[in-house]
Amino acid sequence: MNLILSAMKTFMTVVIALILLLGTAPAWAGPYDEYAGEKRESVNLIITEKEAITEPLSAMGVNVDMRGTSEKETRLFGVRVKTSGTFKGPVSIRAAQAEIGGTFLQGVDCMAANAQLSGSYAGDVVVRAANIELDSTLVINGNFRYTAKSITGLDKARISGTVSQIESEPANDKVLRQWQEYTRRTAAAFAVSSWIISFCSALLTGYLVLRFFPEQVERIVGTMHSSPWPSILFGFIFLVVTPIALLLTMITVVGIPIAMVAGMLYLVILYFAPIMAGLSIGRMLITRLRGAEASRTLFLPLISGILLIWLIQLIPIIGWLGWFILFLLGIGGIWLTFWSGFSRKGRGAERLIAEDDTRL
């Protein structure tokens, strides 16, 4: 037992180190290293009104809010980018949602899914977006070039130069390509970190359940071994029918508390299902590789089974189908075990009542 716990502690230490490295990887391996000047990266990046940046600025994050003053060139990249500061150099913005406002003394180039423009612009403005919304207070002293599926406010904005439509995407947008690369790296790091965290969470949960409820776990695993196909069938029925029953129960005011409690139990069963399935698969695997004696502790089957199920998820299409079948196996195993337990208690109570009636 001590050896197993020591191995688990070592494994968790390695996993946490990997998470930290992967989680911070985009910060030191971003795609903008060739740009001179100041670089800022954060999930929620806010540059306050009091800040005056004298170097070229590259700011990246999920949410970027630029309220300060930028003396030179500014590049802003994020899912949501908002500006309300003063920009003395040219500005490039790449975002899903761009809310552009403030004072711009040179040109602005924006590419976004949705772009909202307000403020004052001394130079030319180029916007490529699916939807563009121009505020009535918008002032552009240069030219306004755009491409959009829809644009509103063009008749109310004050534009001194020419207004023209352009091609939907520039022929050679180096900044866009680098932003896409950065997004891919960040998404990959997030996916790997999420996988590791979910695996560790399942492993820790499985260990605690084994530690405090060994007999119940043994019965659930036994049910899945003895009745795998009924477990999968009843697992599917439970997965589909239960939400419908809960909704019908919530129609009545009296049934709302019952539905809420039952809903929580439903979610608990769904959470524990892949862990129990991992135990079952792990026991089968260890029994075949090392014999029945090695699988009796359930700790080694726990680690190997959960790891196997979590690895199966990584296989495209087929992996998710296999994971779903094992998921149903876990649901059905839990449900059938508890149902049989309730049935035995009910039959026991009936026998006691019958015996009492006979005595009387």
* Residue 101 structural domain: 34-171
Written as six digits, the tokens of 263 are 């809903």
Cα separation values, 109 from 81, 92, 104, 153, 173, Å: 13, 5, 11, 19, 11
Domain assignment present for 270: yes
Judging by DSSP bridges, how do beta strands 144-147 and 158-159 pair with one another? unpaired
Count of the separate structural domains present in the chain: 2
Quote the pLDDT of residue 359: 52
Q: What is the pLDDT along the chain (360 residues), one digit of tens a residue?
A: 444 444 444 444 444 444 444 444 443 344 445 556 788 888 889 999 999 999 999 998 889 999 999 999 999 988 899 999 999 999 999 888 999 999 999 999 998 889 999 999 999 999 999 899 999 999 999 999 999 989 999 999 999 999 999 876 554 556 566 666 666 776 777 778 888 888 888 889 988 988 888 888 889 988 998 888 999 999 999 999 999 999 988 888 788 888 899 999 999 999 999 999 998 898 888 888 877 665 566 678 888 899 999 888 888 888 889 999 999 999 999 999 988 876 665 454 445 445 544 554
Nearest to 189 by CA among 25, 355, 310: 25
Q: Name 327's Cβ contacts closer than 8 Å, sequence gap at least 6.
A: 235, 273, 274, 277
* Co-location of 267 and 350 in the same domain: yes
Q: Hunting for tokens 């060994």 — which residue is that?
A: 214
DSSP codes joined into one string, 117-157: E-SEESS-EEEEEEEEEE-TT-EESS-EEEE-SEEESTTTS
pTM above 0.75, yes or no: no
Quote the pLDDT of residue 127: 94
Domain assignment present for 207: no
Quote the pLDDT of residue 22: 42
Phi, psi of 75 (to 5 degrees): -125, 125
Distance, CA of 327 to CA of 331 (rounded, Å)? 6
Cα separation values, 143 from 107, 127, 171, Å: 9, 11, 20
Q: 3-class DSSP state for residue 71?
A: coil
Domain assignment present for 144: yes
Quote the pLDDT of residue 79: 86
Written as six digits, the tokens of 112 are 């976004």
Phi, psi of 155 (to 5 degrees): -80, -20
Domain assignment present for 228: yes
CA-based Rg of the chain, rounded to a whole angstrom?
Answer: 30
Helices then strands (H, E): number in the chain? 7, 17
DSSP 8-state secondary structure symbol assigned to residue 295:
G
Domain assignment present for 273: yes
Q: Name 313's Cβ contacts closer than 8 Å, sequence gap at least 6.
A: 195, 319, 320, 323
Quote the pLDDT of residue 356: 47
Domain assignment present for 199: no
Residue 141 contacts residue 162 (beta carbons within 8 Å): no
Domain assignment present for 143: yes
* Co-location of 240 and 331 in the same domain: yes
Measured over the CA atoms of residue 243, residue 263, residue 280 and residue 343, the dihedral's sign is negative
List the end-to-end C-alpha distance of the chain, in Å, as a whole number: 54
Distance, CA of 48 to CA of 67 (rounded, Å)? 5
Quote the pLDDT of residue 334: 93
* Co-location of 248 and 322 in the same domain: yes
Quote the pLDDT of residue 108: 95
Domain assignment present for 179: no
Quote the pLDDT of residue 171: 45
Quote the pLDDT of residue 327: 93
Domain end, chosen from 171, 194, 222, is at: 171
* Co-location of 72 and 137 in the same domain: yes
Quote the pLDDT of residue 332: 92
Q: Hunting for tokens 């899914």 — which residue is that?
A: 113
* Co-location of 166 and 222 in the same domain: no
Quote the pLDDT of residue 35: 57
Quote the pLDDT of residue 37: 79
Q: Name 101's Cβ contacts closer than 8 Å, sequence gap at least 6.
A: 82, 83, 84, 117, 118, 119, 135
DSSP 8-state secondary structure symbol assigned to residue 310:
H
